[in-house]
Chain A
Amino acid sequence: MTLSAAAVPDAPAAATGSRARRSGRWFSRLGVGGWVAVAVLAAVLLTALLGPLFVTTDPNSVNLSYAYVGPIPGHPLGFDGQGRDLFARLLHGARTALIGPAIVVAVSTVLGAAVALVAAWVGGAVDAVVARVTDAMFAFPGLLLALLAVSLFSPGVVVAAVALSISYTPYTARIVRSAALKERSLPYVAALDVQGFGAGRIVVRHILPNILVTVVAVATLSFGYALIDLAALSFTGLGVQPPQSDWGVMVAEGVTGIIAGYPQESLFAGGLIVVTVGAVNFLGDRIEGASGDPR
């Protein structure tokens, strides 16, 4: 990253200049594919938020005489093995499937970025300890930590989300730290420092805005991984607890149907997971690409 702005001696002007130059443009470089991904995600989010308000069918009402019945008027996707409306269950399942990852991303991004910025700014022993501990935490795959947490407390999406947040924090911290270190070494930061601007102000007002693209890219990619990990946990029966509907739970509950020759439930829920994660990953890649790295 070569910056003409960094060569300008007048530090505050250089700082504002570089900020405008780099953070203002990244979302205009997403491309058609990036915007399609944004549209898909917006549709999924809106459906999760508003869908259950409009579709009044009870996702948990059992009627065994409708078991595995295909689409009929008023029930566009048919029924599962217990005669529950699949469309209603997918809609309500979207909420539980998306809330968990949202918690994970919020906690791990705020925590990881804060740790990384402090480590990069203070440097020395603090930085070395942060680097060592994040390396050790890499040895703990998120799903394993979530299983350990669930066995300590109780099965459920909140416990799992907190455990995943802890396990994702080092991942975020490592990437943000290296971006912050690169930024910290630029002349404009030294210039601000010499002029007597406080550390907090330099980090929050100048460094953070300039590396925001990296933070957004990591947060986006984390959302996809967290969605998969949490859905996998619900699939094993240790996440969202039935009868509450959730995409991961539905994939698991549909296995009986698959063997009986009615794969709809698993395939619909699995398909929604794949589409959502695919859109998130694609968008994350695009944002990462827009952050200025050539690859």
Chain B
Amino acid sequence: MSAPVQTREVTWADVNRDVIRTVGMPGNTYFFWMTVIALTLACGVAAWTYQIYIGMGAAGKRTPQMWAMYITTFVFWIGIGHAGTLISAVLYLFRAKWRTSIYRGAEAMTIFAVMTAGLFPLIHAGRMWFAYWLMPYPNQRYLWPNFKSPLVWDVFAISTYMTISIVFFLVGLIPDIAALRDSATGIKKKIYTVMALGWEGSDTQWKHYRRAYGLFAALATPLVLSVHSVVSFDFAMALVPGWHSTLFAPFFVDGAIFSGFAMVLILILPMRYYFNWYAYITDRHLDAMAKLILVTGLVLTYFYVCEVFVAWYSGDHFERASVFAKATKQYAWAYWMMYFSNCVTPLIFLWKKARTNVTILYVVSIFVLIGMWLERFNIIVPGLAHDFYPYTWGTYYPTITDSTIIVGSFAWFFLLFMGFIRVMPSLSIVEVKEVLPHPLKHGHAVPHGGGH
């Protein structure tokens, strides 16, 4: 999978052509994978149906392990959903130009990851048909949600994050859909005409668009940081040893960015290969992402060390016992695997060549995802397995039902993503063109913004 040598400069027309050709009827390989994904998802749906019929016992939920793998996977997916808006909003405000080639894919990933995460509170609620009770609406009994509960904050944080991410994503898509509309024919043209909302790229439209986009980015930036902080409050506000810590908010946000970038790499690298986008997603982009993984990985290592240090330094018997149990008791394998995946494997990116080597990037990304899933597992399961009193201790055993649902959630995510890349431009036509040299008749073409 080595990149072909770029012989000439990419023009604006090339960008339109290279992106638009990826939208349309896919080949057999695509349908093969979609079939595999759909079958996996069907297994997940069947398992969920079974769980609704039998009850939560089917998922291995027994005191004290009432959260177990569902909340682990929920936090994992919310974390994945972080990188997209980070790339589109924070890097936009910092004018990091390398974001343009990857942000569309990353934003789509964000939305689909949050949609996947959103399933878990429903799956995990024993009587999921009462899930709407979480929403604040006036009812006859005046049974309002308790706004002092972190779980209600979570509902607000995640639904706001999802809404804003979707709006941001769709607004970014409008000019690109207009480009699709102008090259399509027949029924496709009709559909894209409706979806492009009559976008023409006139100066008035661009003026409001640019202003609105900047404001979305400004609103989304604190939102990105707040969402995972609020998710971390679900734990930090509780009194369980190992959870009750002021460290949790930055720790969760950092871990989320770390795993989000790993997922971006996992999605972007095959896209670059199949769509032949080597001219747009270059070694520079891979290098930048690998550096971000390295930095967030090092910060995460620092937090891990802090966690152990604080437990020891606090002198609190239960905190110390909790850390000791995590590292040595029945879940020690998860603990040490997490350290290896999150702290050791990213260190290879200190070596420059590794940051652009596709195989190494892929393998490290998979390790990071495993490690980050295990991190949430290590907080939830061993945390609850060993709290204050020995009579409440208990080991959690996964069942086929909950494992199948979790595998199904991955299928759901990939189904949405794979569907998206065949109907919408998964590389931003407008933004990629914007950073290319603008066509000039007289004088040298300079990359946009380069001379300011």
Q: Do A and B bind each other?
A: no
